[in-house]
Amino acid sequence: MLCMMSSGFLDKLMDDLYRENIIDHHKHPRMRGDLEPHDMAYEDENPLCGDRIRIELRVDDAGNVTEAAFSGAGCAISQAATDMLLENVVGKTVEDVHNMSKETVMDMLGIELGAVRLKCALLPLKVLKAAVYQVDDPDARTEQDDREGAGG
């Protein structure tokens, strides 16, 4: 019985630590800003809740993400998940980004989320992957930049 109580206590402690980390990334984002110039920018939103995220990337000739930044507005989960994801993506290859999954984001957040909050948490991954896929496809990048009116 003591082990069960200890396990429950440790689970709650870990959840609390992860929640504190989410709040810290929301209140003190490390990756918020603009990259000018940037190699790629992509923006999307979740119309159901109003979360909006724009991600800008610099990618070197070898296909490595050298810098990343985001802007936008939304709930603590979407903004913190974006900040955490971009911290982890700098230095990774485009292929590494292609291989990121829902589990990547969920492991970073460290807490279980309901269906509504899950959409908030996964929006940055959707935006990041869209940006990176366009880095691989220069024609798509040009078309997207033209639609956004953004230089790259």
Indicate the Cα dihedral angle 29, 116, 125, 43, nearest 10°.
Answer: -80
pLDDT of residue 22: 75
Question: pLDDT, tens digit, for every residue of 74-130?
Answer: 999 999 999 999 999 999 999 999 899 999 999 988 888 888 789 999 999 999 999
Question: pLDDT, tens digit, for every residue of 21-79?
Answer: 778 878 998 999 999 999 989 999 998 889 999 999 999 999 999 999 999 999 999 99
CATH says 2-148 is which class? alpha beta
What whole-number distance in Å separates Cα of residue 78 and Cα of residue 2? 37
pTM: 0.78
Q: Concatenated DSSP letters for 53-91?
A: EEEEEEE-TTSBEEEEEEEEE--HHHHHHHHHHHHHHTT
Per the CB < 8 A criterion, the answer to whether 58 and 67 are in contact is yes
pLDDT of residue 25: 73
